Amino acid sequence: MVSVTLGICALIEERGVIRLIKEGFKEGVNEVILVTPNKKLAKTVQMTFNTSPSINIILEGKREGKSAAINKILRRARGDIIVMASADVRIKKGSIKKLVKKMIDEGDNVGAVDSHVMLLDSGKKFFNKVVNFTWMLHNLTMMQLNNNGRLGHVAGDLYALRKGIVDRIPAKVINDDAYIATIIKLKGYDVLHEAGAICYILGPQNPYDYIVQRSRVLYGHFQIYKILKKYPTTFQFTAFKRPLFAMNIFKRAIKHFGAAGILYILIALLLEFLAILYASLCVIKRSSPLRWKLAMSTKGMFT
């Protein structure tokens, strides 16, 4: 019988954590490991679940960065499969089971299974549509690379990994999810995408938060290349290596959004340039902020 650990790193997302733990137990998770520097959040979880022995709360003395929190989960987890979930996600019913089932069904050579990330706010506001366009590029890339057997990336919002392949990650690493997936590929294991395992996130609600979020991701990608000499298989870096592949993805996204998609991508490119500029400045200055600024507009409904 395969055992499953649900690992959660949280700062302020009280409602999100409670919802995640309840959903995890409904889907057969054997234990939950919560890492947080927030005493109030830890106490709320204890009171909500009556200090359940299946919930292991690790209270940090101070905010040490997500990689340090992930290492605590990797060290303490007893499950054969570890499902990592961000505290600011909402999981569609059955998604954890689908991640675990995919890993079991596809065999021991599968090191990680990624979920399919969708936006909770993809509809009415103009800026939401810009963000949704960029996420569509990401998801189309993940699905196509998965079909081609070339996927080497997971989104940190929700994914499963096989215990023992990655024991720890460097504390200075910003993008823990991309680092883990890259290490798994370098060790000869497969990374798969499960389109039926869906999690919902709240995208950035303004340009400032978009730049904050994207600069962190881009800095992390540059950092991974510096450490491992390999870029994650995201749309941006795939476009440099395989421009025709990226153009096909781009055309499919434009077809979905119509002519308005051209405007969305122009705005997204401008914001991406600003994010790259900020991330590059951090690289040049050799500044590695482990406690990166929070994109607060992505947290609202989870706190």
Of 59 and 123, more confident: 59
| pLDDT score for 244 | 79
pLDDT at 83: 98
Residue 120's nearest CA partner among 202, 199, 16 is 202
Looking at the predicted structure, is the pLDDT value of residue 127 above 70? yes
Range picked from 159-168, 236-245, 293-302 for highest mean pLDDT: 159-168
For residue 290, name the pLDDT band (cuts at 50, 70, 90): very low
Q: How many CB atoms lie within 10 A of CB 171?
A: 13
Other beta carbons less than 10 A from residue 110's beta carbon: 20
In DSSP terms, which residues pair with 8 in a beta bridge?
A: 34, 85
Question: Which pLDDT band, with edges at 50, 70 and 90, does 288 fall under?
Answer: low
Handedness of CA 56, 60, 63, 65 (dihedral sign): negative
Q: What is the mean pLDDT of residues 115-138?
A: 81
pLDDT at position 239 over 70:
no
- pLDDT mean over 139-147: 87
State the residue range of the domain holding 51.
Answer: 4-302
In which element (H, E) is residue 38 found?
A: none
Which helix (H) or strand (E) covers residue 188, if one does? none
**How many domains does the chain fold into?**
1
Least confident of 7-16, 72-81, 179-188: 7-16
CATH of the domain at 295: 3.90.550.10
- Judged by average pLDDT, the poorest of 41-45, 93-97, 236-240 is 236-240
- pLDDT-above-70 percentage for the chain: 90
Q: Of 153, 150, 281, 172, whose CA–CA distance to 227 is shortest?
A: 172
pLDDT at 12: 84
pLDDT exceeds cutoff 90 at 184: yes
* For residue 303, pLDDT beyond 70: no
For the beta carbon of residue 299, count every other beta carbon within 10 angstroms. 17
pLDDT (0 to 100) of residue 243: 75
Higher-confidence position of 34 and 276: 34
Asked whether the predicted pLDDT for residue 109 surpasses 80, the reply is yes
pLDDT for the residue numbered 268: 82
- Of 33-37, 122-126, 242-246, give the lowest mean pLDDT range: 122-126
| Least confident residue range of 12-21, 104-113, 176-185, 270-279 | 270-279
Q: What is the Cα 73 distance to its own chain's centre? A: 16
Of 197, 201, 222, the residue nearest 113 (C-alpha): 197
Structure confidence by residue, pLDDT tens digits, 46-86: 999 987 789 999 999 888 888 999 999 999 999 999 999 99
Band the pLDDT of 234: cuts 50, 70, 90: confident
Two tokens at 39? 């005493």
What percentage of the chain carries pLDDT values higher than 90? 46
Q: Which residue has the higher pLDDT, 157 or 296?
A: 157
